[in-house]
A and B are shown apart, each in its own frame.
Chain A
Amino acid sequence: MTQYTRRGWLAALAAPLTVGAQGIASRGVRPQPRGKPSGLPFHARFSDIADAAGLRLPVTYGDVSNSDYILETIGCGAAVFDYDNDGWLDIFLLSGTRRQGAPKDASNRLYKNNRDGTFTDVTAKAGLLRQGWASAVTVGDYNNDGHEDLFITYWGQNVLYRNNGDGTFTDVTKEAGLLESVKRWGSGCTFVDYDRDGHLDLFVANYLEFDFAAVPGPGENAHCSWKGIPVYCGPRGLPPGRFSLYRNNGEGVFTDVSASAGVAKARRYGMTAVAADFDNDGWPDIYVACDSTPSLLFRNQHDGTFSEEGLERGVALNEDGMEQAGMGLGIGDYNLDGNLDIFKTHFTDDTSILYRNDGKGNFADATISSGLGVETRYVGWGAGIVDLDNDGLPDLFLVTGNVYTNVEEKLPSYPHRTPRVVFRNLGGGKFEELIEQAGPGIAEAHSSRGCAFGDFDNDGDIDVLVVNLNEPPSLLRNDVTGGNHWIKVKLIGVKSNRSAIGARVVARYGGKVQAQEVLAQSSFYAVDDRRLHFGLGQQRTVDLEIRWPSGGKEVFSNVKADRIITVKEGIGLL
């Protein structure tokens, strides 16, 4: 037998297979090593009280165990808002349906707050029963009549509901000029007074072009598998959606100005949309978290047009220039410099991202330096930059849940139901991940999507409503200890839009400065409590500076803490 060595033999072979090429500059989606726990007590503790509160109907969305199409898995959002102006937050939950037909109770649901920790389903009475594949909601008083209206996106026709002020709503989509000629998959949406004329306009994102008949089933081609497992197809490969801007003429009618405003050109897998003034020029910009494609920042040019500058401003990609699967958005001032930062959630095997705003609308990726890189296990959805323990340092919160119902069986490290995550703010731009330490409501595993932040029991902290697919929602009641102080600020526009969407409040307390803005959508397809909540730590008073969308400014000094205040534009504290 001829002798040979493997090395010698290999040398004769021209091109042996090699391995080793890693993702080029990606931080590799490998988790950042965890540091030592701070050992500091966390004074917020969450418990799920949904069942006791009467929120028992599941949020129907696709098949429970076998989702073959992307439409069945993306899910929907929710809103917390005061539809009857009684000073207590009510709940509006969106719903999907099923391919084989909707279950009996599948519908969007409006729950009235009974002011005793329970809620009553008033959907039918309010005229809001509707079945379909709902995605997102935005809340705003588009006709400035003092009652909050609803706009909902669908796969199919989006819907505008006018609040009649008597506990009922009317579908005014057609008369508002919002009927569409083609079937789209509406996703993120937000009321925004982009031209600052005092009337709320409407921005709508579309996720992608979808048709059950045209999209192949799981595993039917190379684009329909994940880690070797057949899964639904998309979003990659499917034609991306477009973006629309509708101008409110002040009489309840909207006109599509997408092309002239410069938002029609973009094509992305758009998800949550947030309107806020990111560059501190007094005009609302629009940021859209985009799935698997660069996210978009439409900068307001003050002349009815927008310029898309996500890339140049540093919020399209991560610091390595990699696109991420943008889903949900938290907006807030985590580092207390008076500027709005962005927290965006992504797919599993990637981190969420934290963009730090320099005040001029230029952002830096602070994910690793802030300690968020430790968590890559979950698919993140609804999110917020919210002060959960009232210590004056805004924390980060996200809900999670995998999209693939069938992967867990083969890959147990990718479960379908996963916990919520809290990153408590340690100060100095650093965060620490907490799950079990934040209470049983955080550690519970669900396949969650939207979540909305608000104080349901008006006890001075932030509770969280969470949409769980094909399960009842969670209502995470926050029981804060530790004696920290707080203030909530409700704004009513007069010259500005009545909902005060786009109003900026800067709070100064104990040497800290924190900015917040009234938003009409954030988290994931969701709407938070319109009353801006500031934890104040040990401070018993706070100075507040309000900048209205109209441009007017008002300052209130030494405002006493631990109460909800209402400020009417030009009139002052009510």
Chain B
Amino acid sequence: MLLYLILAAAFFQPSGQRGAALVDAGIELSHAGRFNEAADKFVQALALDPNLAEAHYLLGLIRQQDGRADAALQSFRAALKLNPRYTAAQARVCELDTVFARVRETGYDKALISCRRAVLLDPRDPEPHFHIGWIQTKLGSHADAIQEFTTVLRLDPKFSRVRFELAMAYIDSRDIDRAIPLLKEVVAAEPGNTNARFQLGVALVKKGDCDAAVPWLETGSESAQKHYLLAGCFKKMNREAEAASEFAKVKQSREGAEASMQAKYLAALAHQKLVAGELDKAIADYRAALALVKDPTIAIDLAVALLKKGEAQEVLRMLAAESDPLARYQVALAYTKLGRPDEARSALELALREKPGFVEAWYLLGVNALAQEKHHEADRALGMAVRLRPDEPAIRLAWAEALQKLGKAQEAREQRQLAAKLPK
């Protein structure tokens, strides 16, 4: 009711005020955990008034939550452009620049600048210090990293992960003796933290204490490295059979990893050929990749290529037994191509049961329903798709069509207007 009143009031205000009211509505929705609807409000607000820094920022938070980091960064930067002293937005830019630097293994300097700006705006916020510490670690400035992580601990002794990162910084600076007690604190506080267990094991191996290291390694996170270190320790401890067993695990793990790496490369080649329109070659490469490893993501990519070639039946044969929502979506596309909409709908419903936020599935469900003139079903599905992806004009236009068919001309017009204001 409150939301309704806010929205109703908003429509009788000048665009700036109406925009601000929509932002408030979005915030209320966010507090209720209805983030997709909230995002829709922020998009609407920005359509009315693009200078609402807060709307950019809040939209960025939801995009970030959705894993759309690029779009989130764009929103945060837009907020900062409007208000350069927007502390929270600067902190988010710091965080995302750091994330991108990590993924791309470059851009550390840019991230460092963003984070230093964030510290200038709010020296008491531990997060930018944490990110600076992490960047300094990557840049090999161990002393600086240790200083930043120590600052984080001072500002917020309960700050998640900082003890672990500080321990890693000590390990990087060869100060194993300081790292070990920190890692022990981490595993005491988080007994399920298998990475910390593993790192504690590694640190103890580096100290030459295999007896102490083995239990931590054994309960640490799974990796070829873990087995290699265990094998080395068992060898030193004259536990030859266990050493041999661990070496065998290392070999097995590495062989699997190498096959997987080659398969991914072949799949990447196939994708490239797909984009270049070399459909048959792409399909051949995808098949070669699948021969190396049974990877459902490659099977799904192959399905995409097969559907482009019109081989819907083969997609059904290949993916019928797969329960992955993405696979079910490809199956639905295949059924759609074969003119079997009811089976497509079943597949999509199964996919959405597993992954309710699967925008493309809602969209396909909606357009299939539209094609079958099931307008109420189309309205429901496309409305959901718009809430999940409010800044996608194609979805709004499809929804508008469904609304129009249901006689909701005013709402259909509003959706078309909103779609027109969104970047294509």
Indicate which residue in B30, B64, B202, B254 contacts A25 across the interface (CB closer than 8 Å): B202
Give 22 A-B contacts (CB < 8 Å), ordered by A residue. Answer: A1-B24, A2-B27, A4-B31, A9-B61, A13-B35, A17-B64, A19-B99, A19-B134, A20-B161, A24-B202, A31-B140, A33-B142, A221-B269, A228-B105, A237-B265, A237-B268, A311-B231, A312-B231, A312-B235, A312-B243, A314-B232, A323-B254
Given the complex, which residues of B lie within 8 Å of A368, measured CB to CB? 174
Q: Is B81 an interface residue (CB 8 A)?
A: no
Q: A1-B20, A16-B64 are in contact. Are A293 and B30 (CB under 8 A)?
A: no
Q: Are B33 and A12 touching (Cβ within 8 A)?
A: yes
Min CB distance A277 to B, Å, is 22
Q: Is A21 an interface residue (CB 8 A)?
A: yes
Given contact pairs A10-B61, A321-B227, enumerate 5 new A-B contacts (beta carbons under 8 Å).
A24-B199, A28-B137, A33-B173, A228-B106, A322-B225
Nearest-neighbor residue (CB-CB) of A14 within chain B: B65
Contact with B along A72-99 (1 / 0, CB 8 A): 0000000000000000000000000000
Min CB distance A408 to B, Å, is 14
Given the complex, which residues of B lie within 8 Å of A27, measured CB to CB? 172
Q: Are B30 and A12 touching (Cβ within 8 A)?
A: yes
Max count, chain B CB within 10 A of own CB: residue among A15, A32, A233, A321: A321
Q: Are B140 and A320 touching (Cβ within 8 A)?
A: no
Q: Is A571 an interface residue (CB 8 A)?
A: no
Give the B interface residue count (CB, 8 A).
72
Q: Is B304 an interface residue (CB 8 A)?
A: no
A17 and B98 CA atoms in complex are apart in Å by: 10
Which residues 220-274 of A sit at the B interface, judged by CB distance below 8 A?
Answer: 220-223, 227-229, 233, 236-240, 267
| Complex interface: stretch among B8-16, B88-96, B322-330, B400-408 | B88-96
Min CB distance B75 to A, Å, is 14
A518 and B250 CA atoms in complex are apart in Å by: 34
Q: Is B56 an interface residue (CB 8 A)?
A: no
Q: Are B106 and A28 touching (Cβ within 8 A)?
A: no
Min CB distance B285 to A, Å, is 10
Q: Are A220 and B106 touching (Cβ within 8 A)?
A: no
Which residues 317-360 of A sit at the B interface, judged by CB distance below 8 A?
Answer: 317, 319-323
Given the complex, which residues of A lie within 8 Å of B232, measured CB to CB? 314, 319
Min CB distance B201 to A, Å, is 9
Given the complex, which residues of B lie within 8 Å of A1, measured CB to CB? 20, 23-24, 54
A binding-site residues for B, Cβ under 8 Å: 1-2, 4, 6, 9-10, 12-22, 24-25, 27-28, 30-33, 216, 220-223, 227-229, 233, 236-240, 267, 293-294, 311-312, 314, 317, 319-323, 368, 411
Q: A24-B223, A31-B140 are in contact. Are A16 and B65 (CB under 8 A)?
A: yes
Indicate which residue in A220, A228, A317 contacts B228 across the interface (CB closer than 8 Å): A317
Q: Are B174 and A17 touching (Cβ within 8 A)?
A: no
Indicate which residue in B107, B225, B228 contacts A311 across the interface (CB closer than 8 Å): B228
Q: Are B172 and A30 touching (Cβ within 8 A)?
A: yes
Q: Are B262 and A227 touching (Cβ within 8 A)?
A: no
Min CB distance B347 to A, Å, is 27
Q: Are B24 and A17 touching (Cβ within 8 A)?
A: no
A161 and B357 CA atoms in complex are apart in Å by: 67
A548 and B50 CA atoms in complex are apart in Å by: 84
Given the complex, which residues of B lie within 8 Å of A320, measured CB to CB? 202, 225, 229
A414 and B31 CA atoms in complex are apart in Å by: 48
Q: Is B28 an interface residue (CB 8 A)?
A: yes
Given the complex, which residues of B lie within 8 Å of A233, measured CB to CB? 265
A503 and B4 CA atoms in complex are apart in Å by: 91
Given the complex, which residues of A lie within 8 Å of B137, measured CB to CB? 22, 28, 30
Majority-rule SS of A interface residues: loop
Given the complex, which residues of B lie within 8 Å of A311, measured CB to CB? 228, 231, 247, 250-251
A197 and B140 CA atoms in complex are apart in Å by: 53
Given the complex, which residues of B lie within 8 Å of A240, measured CB to CB? 258
Min CB distance A387 to B, Å, is 29
Given the complex, which residues of B lie within 8 Å of A12, measured CB to CB? 30-31, 33
Contact with A along B125-151 (1 / 0, CB 8 A): 000001100100100101000000000
Q: Is B369 an interface residue (CB 8 A)?
A: no
A15 and B61 CA atoms in complex are apart in Å by: 11
Q: Are B30 and A9 touching (Cβ within 8 A)?
A: yes
Given the complex, which residues of A lie within 8 Å of B67, measured CB to CB? 15, 17
Q: Are A24 and B265 touching (Cβ within 8 A)?
A: no
Given the complex, which residues of A lie within 8 Å of B96, measured CB to CB? 17
Closest 5 CB pairs of A and B: A237-B265, A321-B228, A321-B225, A221-B268, A227-B106
Max count, chain B CB within 10 A of own CB: residue among A13, A25, A233: A25
Given the complex, which residues of B lie within 8 Å of A322, measured CB to CB? 225
Q: Are A17 and B95 touching (Cβ within 8 A)?
A: yes
Given the complex, which residues of B lie within 8 Å of A223, measured CB to CB? 264-265, 268
A32 and B140 CA atoms in complex are apart in Å by: 9
Min CB distance B72 to A, Å, is 9
Q: Are A19 and B95 touching (Cβ within 8 A)?
A: yes
Given the complex, which residues of B lie within 8 Å of A13, measured CB to CB? 35, 61-62, 64-65
Q: A220-B272, A221-B271, A223-B268 are in contact. Are A15 and B262 (CB under 8 A)?
A: no
Which residues 211-225 of B sit at the A interface, judged by CB distance below 8 A?
Answer: 221, 223-225
Given the complex, which residues of A lie within 8 Å of B409, measured CB to CB? none
Min CB distance A103 to B, Å, is 32
Indicate which residue in B104, B172, B243 contacts A228 across the interface (CB closer than 8 Å): B104
Q: Is B376 an interface residue (CB 8 A)?
A: no
A438 and B136 CA atoms in complex are apart in Å by: 32
A531 and B92 CA atoms in complex are apart in Å by: 64
Which residues 226-273 of B sit at the A interface, judged by CB distance below 8 A?
Answer: 226-229, 231-232, 235, 243-244, 247, 250-251, 254, 258, 261-262, 264-266, 268-269, 271-272
Q: Are A28 and B31 touching (Cβ within 8 A)?
A: no
Q: Is B286 an interface residue (CB 8 A)?
A: no
Nearest-neighbor residue (CB-CB) of A8 within chain B: B31
Indicate which residue in A17, A30, A236, A321 contacts B69 across the interface (CB closer than 8 Å): A17
Min CB distance A16 to B, Å, is 7
Q: Are B107 and A228 touching (Cβ within 8 A)?
A: yes
Given the complex, which residues of A lie within 8 Å of B98, measured CB to CB? 19
A82 and B258 CA atoms in complex are apart in Å by: 42
Indicate which residue in A15, A33, A237, A314 contacts B264 across the interface (CB closer than 8 Å): A237
Nearest-neighbor residue (CB-CB) of B88 within chain A: A6
A259 and B65 CA atoms in complex are apart in Å by: 55
Min CB distance A362 to B, Å, is 8
Given the complex, which residues of A lie within 8 Å of B231, measured CB to CB? 311-312
Q: Are A411 and B106 touching (Cβ within 8 A)?
A: yes
Given the complex, which residues of B lie within 8 Å of A237, measured CB to CB? 261-262, 264-266, 268
Given the complex, which residues of A lie within 8 Å of B62, measured CB to CB? 13
Q: A20-B134, A321-B224, A368-B174 are in contact. Are A216 and B272 (CB under 8 A)?
A: yes
Q: Are B65 and A15 touching (Cβ within 8 A)?
A: yes
Nearest-neighbor residue (CB-CB) of A365 within chain B: B232
A523 and B106 CA atoms in complex are apart in Å by: 32
Q: Are B102 and A222 touching (Cβ within 8 A)?
A: no
